[in-house]
């Protein structure tokens, strides 16, 4: 008998190459694993392929994009699934929160209607059950769960409130993985901090894994357990938050760390 322990099966395992006729290698042999309940950061500059990877995971890429490799989620291969099968996973097992909440929400529909449509997409139940779940989702993201709020249109909310509504829609069905693609970049600093705290709270309380995609290293450092660095379509380094920030190995990661702003040092005579 041995005392060896086996690592848990990854929630998500990716080995992916993607490209278009005009740009044959947007992603080059990207390899990424996310464990159940893990918050993984994906960092890269504009044009590095971050959003292409997010859309590939959701099965939402333009058909002109050629994909090869593997995307395994909950031990199920997703590449090659029919659109009907992908729709059954989107929003229920994997959810996506995008960068611009006010353009992601339908301006012609009340918040109650949009939440109800998200609920009905994957669940059959009574109106009372639906109402209970909608209000619970709003409460979970620190929004009012009353009729006055549910009657609002997106134009009647702040950007921060709109982003919380999108997150409420994303977590309605308690997905195993939430993909947040630059989900705080359109927010002011205070609201950004609140949304990051919300992601951390949802991860902690529900066990939902999060793929947090950003170019902002400070926000990634705040909530992520591990960080992958994407550069020109390749993941050049992946490690714990502590390793990436204190002992980066790849030259590109080292340049990113060196570019972080530093607080000015107080002079020794200050306040003397």
Q: In angstroms, what is the C-alpha Rg of the chain? A: 20
Q: Considering the domain boundaries, does residue 1 fall inside one?
A: no
Q: Considering the domain boundaries, does residue 239 fall inside one?
A: yes
Q: How far is CA 129 from the centre of its chain?
A: 27
Other beta carbons less than 10 A from residue 111's beta carbon: 25
Read off the DSSP letter of residue 58: H
What value does the mean pLDDT take over residues 249-257?
94
Q: Considering the domain boundaries, does residue 262 fall inside one?
A: no
CA-closest candidate to residue 56, choices 108, 2, 17, 98 = 17
- Asked if the model's pLDDT at residue 89 lies above 80, the reply is yes
Instruction: List the structure tokens of 146.
Output: 């009353």
- Asked if the model's pLDDT at residue 150 lies above 80, the reply is yes
What value does the mean pLDDT take over residues 225-250?
95
Residues 42 and 195: their CA atoms lie apart, in Å, by 17
- By CB atoms closer than 10 A (0-12, 13-18, 19+), residue 86 is middle
Q: Considering the domain boundaries, does residue 6 fall inside one?
A: no
pLDDT > 70 in the chain, percent: 94
Q: With a threshold of 0.85, does the pTM exceed it? A: yes
Q: Considering the domain boundaries, does residue 272 fall inside one?
A: no
- Which residues are bridge partners to 55 per DSSP? none
- Asked if the model's pLDDT at residue 1 lies above 50, the reply is no
What value does the mean pLDDT take over residues 154-169?
92
Residues 219 and 233: their CA atoms lie apart, in Å, by 22
What value does the mean pLDDT take over residues 83-103?
90
DSSP3 helix / strand / coil % (the chain, rounded to 5): 40, 20, 40
In Å, what is the CA distance from 250 to each residue of 232, 236, 254?
Answer: 14, 7, 6
Q: Which CATH number does the domain housing residue 169 bear? A: 3.40.50.300
Residues 211 and 221: their CA atoms lie apart, in Å, by 13
Read off the DSSP letter of residue 75: T
- Asked if the model's pLDDT at residue 270 lies above 80, the reply is no
Q: Considering the domain boundaries, does residue 216 fall inside one?
A: yes
- Asked if the model's pLDDT at residue 235 lies above 80, the reply is yes
| Residue 154 host element (H or E) | none
Residue 28 lies in domain:
12-255
CA angle 150, 202, 75 (to 5 degrees): 115
| Residue 68 host element (H or E) | strand 66-73
Residue with more model confidence, 80 or 71 = 71
Q: Considering the domain boundaries, does residue 36 fall inside one?
A: yes
Domains: count for the chain: 1
- Which residues are bridge partners to 72 per DSSP? 13, 77
> What confidence score (pLDDT) does residue 220 get?
92
Q: Considering the domain boundaries, does residue 117 fall inside one?
A: yes
Angle between helices 159-171 and 127-140 (to 10 degrees): 130
């Amino acid at each position: 008998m041995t005392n060896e322990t086996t690592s848990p099966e990854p929630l998500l395992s990716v080995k992916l190459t993607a490209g278009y006729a005009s740009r044959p290698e947007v992603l080059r042999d990207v390899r990424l694993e996310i464990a159940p309940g893990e918050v993984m950061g994906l960092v890269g500059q504009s044009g590095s392929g971050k959003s292409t990877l997010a859309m590939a995971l959701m099965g939402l890429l333009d058909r002109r994009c050629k994909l090869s490799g593997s995307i395994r989620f909950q031990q199920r291969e997703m590449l090659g699934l029919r659109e009907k099968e992908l729709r059954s996973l989107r929003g229920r097992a994997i959810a996506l929160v995008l960068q611009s909440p006010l353009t992601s929400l339908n301006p012609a529909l009340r918040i109650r209607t949009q939440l109800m449509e998200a609920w009905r997409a994957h669940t059959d139940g009574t109106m009372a059950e639906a109402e209970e779940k909608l209000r619970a989702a709003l409460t979970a993201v620190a929004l009012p769960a009353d009729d006055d709020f549910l009657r609002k249109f997106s134009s009647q909310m702040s950007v921060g409130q709109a982003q919380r509504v999108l997150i409420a829609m994303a977590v309605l069905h308690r997905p195993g993985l939430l993909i947040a693609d630059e989900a705080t970049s359109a927010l002011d600093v205070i609201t950004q901090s609140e949304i990051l705290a919300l992601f951390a709270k949802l991860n902690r309380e529900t066990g939902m894994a999060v793929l947090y995609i950003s170019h902002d290293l400070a926000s990634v450092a705040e909530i992520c357990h591990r960080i992958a660095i994407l550069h020109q379509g390749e993941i050049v380094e992946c490690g714990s938050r502590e390793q990436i920030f204190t002992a980066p190995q790849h030259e590109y990661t080292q340049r990113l760390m060196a570019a972080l702003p530093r607080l000015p040092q107080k002079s020794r005579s200050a306040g003397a």
